[in-house]
Amino acid sequence: MARKRDVVVGVIIAVVCVVTLGFFGLIFIGLLTEDGDIEFVGLGGNVGVVEMFGVITESSGRPVIKQLDKWADSRSIKAIIVHINSPGGVVSISQEIYGAIRRVREKKPVVAAMASVAASGGYYVACASDRIIANPGTITGSIGVILEFHTVSKLLEKLGIESETIKSGEFKDVGTYTRSMTKKEELMLHSVVMDAYEQFVEAVSEGRGMEKDEIYPLADGSIFTGLQAFNLGLVDTLGGLKEAVDLAAELAGIEGKPKVVRPYKKKRFQIFDLLGRFLEGINKTVSDEFSGPQLLYLYQ
């Protein structure tokens, strides 16, 4: 009887140890995982969906690039859909996402699926894909560049506050909020904006297989519905995410119904999640406040 009791106690202790080790192991993995993303994919034909939602910034764009690069090397992901719901954003990170999509295309097909809005930088990114699909009512286009400055010189004058600046060159403090721009500064910045504009037109020309002369009349910042964009040759077909999945599967040669895979955000303990969000918010606020004026492919 005592022996049987010892066996039962031993089994219970073993189970408790395994459960405890597993529990703390999950905690350990959760703390070490850089971004908390894990995926469960099979060996069949999978279509990965990467979401690009909201204004394109450094903080929102980096995860998109990371996921694209990761799936580019995944043998189980046969095609990728970039699901875009964005008015655009910062020029430089939009260009990096564009480049990441072009790299993926060397290994597997990429389809851009436009949701409610895919304008300016959102459209720029879409042009890097093999095919673009939009809903008839999608807002897209807005091909152009914007650079904004805010000045409080009149307010400072009313308050009796003067600002003195020592600079190494004539244009070193261009865009300062303490005074209005000079004509020479305006001309210099306009040349910068137009250079970024030409880069946009070049990207559309390359991505859509259109001559620049065909694009310039459309590249005045005008927005279009998905249907208008289709008729103008700015998108390939009309439809939603389901049609995008079917198109991606067709381009990848997937037989049968493809599996749709999305990055899975692993749940962490609330304290770590709250701390992470708090630090991320501080970082974003500081970055936005001190980054200065930025070139934007942005629909406003």
DSSP 43-103: SS-EEEEEEEESSB-HHHHHHHHHHHHHHHT-SSEEEEEEEEEE-EEEHHHHHHHHHHHHH
Burial of residue 149, with CB atoms counted within 10 A of its CB: 0-12 exposed, 13-18 middle, 19 or more buried: middle
pLDDT digits (tens, 9 = 90+) for 115-153: 999 999 999 999 999 999 999 999 999 999 999 888 887
Output the pTM of the full model. Answer: 0.79
Residue 10 in this model has a pLDDT that exceeds 80: no
What pLDDT, on a 0 to 100 scale, did the predictor assign at position 154?
82
What pLDDT, on a 0 to 100 scale, did the predictor assign at position 27?
43
Please answer whether residues 155 and 126 qualify as being in contact, where contact means their C-beta atoms are separated by less than 8 angstroms. Answer: no
Residue in 107, 172, 212, 266 annotated catalytic: 172
Residue 267 annotated in active site: no
What pLDDT, on a 0 to 100 scale, did the predictor assign at position 300?
77
Residue 31 in this model has a pLDDT that exceeds 50: no
Measured between alpha carbons, how far is 144 from 220 in angstroms, rounded to an integer?
6
Average pLDDT over residues 220-239: 98
Residue 4 annotated in active site: no
What pLDDT, on a 0 to 100 scale, did the predictor assign at position 292?
63
Place of tokens 């009149």: 154
Average pLDDT over residues 34-55: 70
Computed over every residue of the chain, the mean pLDDT equals: 83
What pLDDT, on a 0 to 100 scale, did the predictor assign at position 256?
87
- Lowest average pLDDT, out of 2-6, 61-65, 152-156, 212-216, goes to 2-6
What pLDDT, on a 0 to 100 scale, did the predictor assign at position 6?
53
What pLDDT, on a 0 to 100 scale, did the predictor assign at position 195?
98
Which is more confident, 192 or 278? 192
Average pLDDT over residues 45-52: 93
pLDDT digits (tens, 9 = 90+) for 143-173: 999 998 888 878 877 888 888 888 898 888 8
What pLDDT, on a 0 to 100 scale, did the predictor assign at position 82?
98
Residue in 120, 129, 142, 259 annotated catalytic: 120
What pLDDT, on a 0 to 100 scale, did the predictor assign at position 151?
81
pLDDT digits (tens, 9 = 90+) for 236-293: 999 999 999 999 999 999 998 899 999 876 555 455 555 555 555 545 544 444 456 7
Which is more confident, 104 or 12? 104
pLDDT band at 48 (very low <50, low <70, confident <90, very high): very high
Measured between alpha carbons, how far is 225 from 139 in angstroms, rounded to an integer?
5
- Under CATH, to which class is 37-143+213-298 assigned? alpha beta
